[in-house]
Amino acid sequence: MAKKPTKNTSGRGQRDLTVKVKTARGRTTSQQRWLQRQLNDPYVKRAKEEGYRGRAAFKILELDDKFRFLVPGAKVVDLGCAPGGWCQVAVKRVNALGEKKGKAIGTILGVDLQEVEPIAGAEVHQLDFLSDDADLQVKEWLGGSATVVMSDMAAASSGHKQTDHLRIIALCEAAAYFAFDVLEPGGTFVAKVLAGGAEGSLQQLLKKRFKKVVNVKPPSSRADSSEKFVVATGFRAENDNGDYDEDDDTDE
């Protein structure tokens, strides 16, 4: 049970919104810290107020504010879309519901291993994107190639920092290869990674296939988290000879 917010003594006429969490039997120290952080996280509060399914929605909002890839008419694939916050943001920005009169209507396709509650304006499927012909299935659902492939996926934590880093980089590389199969020329790939030293191979892979690759940590990403996001724009499709433009315009 949480205690009431402590009284403000700053003299500015505002309450101190810090919530203290009482120790509970059976609750570990790490669980205690997590609960207190959640109760005092302004993005958690904003997500509830604005109807998003999680604070992660603000990460894609901030990334799109900077790079502008969720435009009206875009066809977007959200890999590992549960619980659906990124899809919710994308629905509004690509005009999937047709609410922006005179603007092109976009498409949002979310896929996840688990069942996801329906999201207004998005088409959500239970699918393992690593399965055979998953790319063909996604393109069939989209009615063509994707404009954007985005991923906020993270492998299950093992409790060992380096192992977790390697796992998420491997997952991100798999998402990148999937993006290569479904993106249209000029398309965008956005994915979460963890800093830790093994992301060099991912960077080299993306530099070959995109005109620009940028690494960024959005404001809503917690300061104590090693997560960052890679935004790769200007996808280079493979030609009939199996080649693609090697011209590089990378800003790390």
Judge contact between 48 and 62, C-beta under 8 A. Answer: no
Catalytic entry in 3, 45, 75, 192 = 192
In 3D space, the residue among 233, 227, 228, 229 whose CA is nearest the CA of residue 250 turns out to be 233
* pLDDT over 90 at 20, yes or no: no
Beta strands in the chain (DSSP E): 75-79, 107-112, 122-126, 146-151, 183-194, 210-216, 227-235
Whole-model pTM? Answer: 0.80
Return the pLDDT at 219.
94
Over residues 22-43, the pLDDT tens digits come to 555 555 555 445 445 555 568 7
Other CB atoms within 10 A of residue 13 CB: 6
**DSSP letter assigned to residue 21:** B
Over residues 136-179, the pLDDT tens digits come to 999 999 999 999 999 999 877 777 777 887 888 899 999 999 99
Share of the chain above pLDDT 70, in %: 77
Catalytic status, residue 92: no
State the binding site for S-adenosyl-L-methionine.
Answer: 84, 86, 112, 128, 152
Share of the chain above pLDDT 90, in %: 61
State the binding site.
Answer: 84, 86, 112, 128, 152
Higher model confidence: residue 18 or residue 142?
142
Q: Which residues, in sequence order, are bridge partners of residue 76? A: 108, 148
Q: Supply 62's token pair.
A: 């901030």
In 3D space, the residue among 231, 47, 219 whose CA is nearest the CA of residue 150 turns out to be 231
Over residues 81-128, the pLDDT tens digits come to 999 999 999 999 999 999 999 999 999 999 999 999 999 999 999 999
Q: Supply 227's token pair.
A: 């997560």
Question: What is the set of domains in the chain, with CATH numbers?
Answer: 1-40 (no CATH), 53-235 (3.40.50.150)
* pLDDT over 50 at 21, yes or no: no
d(CA 110, CA 87): 7
The count of residues in the chain is: 252
Residue 208, amino acid: K
Judge contact between 36 and 42, C-beta under 8 A. Answer: no
The whole-chain average pLDDT of the chain stands at: 84
For 59, 70, 102, 156, the CA distances from 85, given in Å and listed in that order, are 10, 14, 26, 19
Return the pLDDT at 42.
81
For 140, 182, 184, 211, the CA distances from 144, given in Å and listed in that order, are 6, 8, 9, 22
Q: Which residues, in sequence order, are bridge partners of residue 191? A: 151, 230
